[in-house]
Amino acid sequence: MEHEISRRKLLKGGLLAGALAPLVALVGQSAHAAALTPLDPNDPTAKALDFMTDAAKVQASVEPTYKPGQHCATCAQFQGKPTDATAGCTIFAGHSVPAGGWCKVWAQRPS
């Protein structure tokens, strides 16, 4: 038995898929953000990179790469908006970091 698909059905299906794609992506991002666990400062990677949950507590004498004004929200690795309280980090996969945190691999976020 042969099944024929009309151009009309094909166009309707394509338009429907195109309209739903952004919605599916948005729902997927929300689910991914909710799946992130907060980074534990005692995590071995966090310790190796001298991660701190509060950049204001970083001692410049101990961390020579630290400069005032550096924190996760201004870092290129921070995956959220600069106004987000927490977001994912490309360095600490699967974990969220606070916007006010800091670690050794801080890099200026492009403008």
pLDDT tens digits in sequence order for the chain, 111 residues long: 566 777 777 666 666 666 666 655 555 544 445 689 999 999 999 999 999 999 999 999 999 999 999 999 999 999 999 999 999 999 999 999 999 999 999 999 987
Q: What is the average pLDDT value for the chain, to the nearest integer?
A: 84
| pLDDT for the residue numbered 5 | 73
For residues 15 and 107, give the distance between their C-alpha atoms in angstroms, rounded to a whole number.
Answer: 41
**Any idea where the domains of the chain sit in the sequence?**
1-35, 36-111
| pLDDT for the residue numbered 17 | 62
Is the CB of residue 46 less than 8 Å from the CB of residue 97? no
Q: Which long-range CB contacts under 8 A does 54-60 form with residues at least 24 apart?
A: 54/98, 54/100, 54/101, 54/102, 55/100, 55/101, 55/102, 56/100, 58/102
| pLDDT for the residue numbered 38 | 96
| pLDDT for the residue numbered 34 | 60
pTM metric for this prediction = 0.68
36-111: CATH topology is High-Potential Iron-Sulfur Protein; Chain A (4.10.490)
**In the numeric block, which tokens belong to residue 40?**
């534990």
| pLDDT for the residue numbered 31 | 45
| pLDDT for the residue numbered 30 | 44
CA distances from 83 to 21, 44, 107 (A): 26, 28, 17
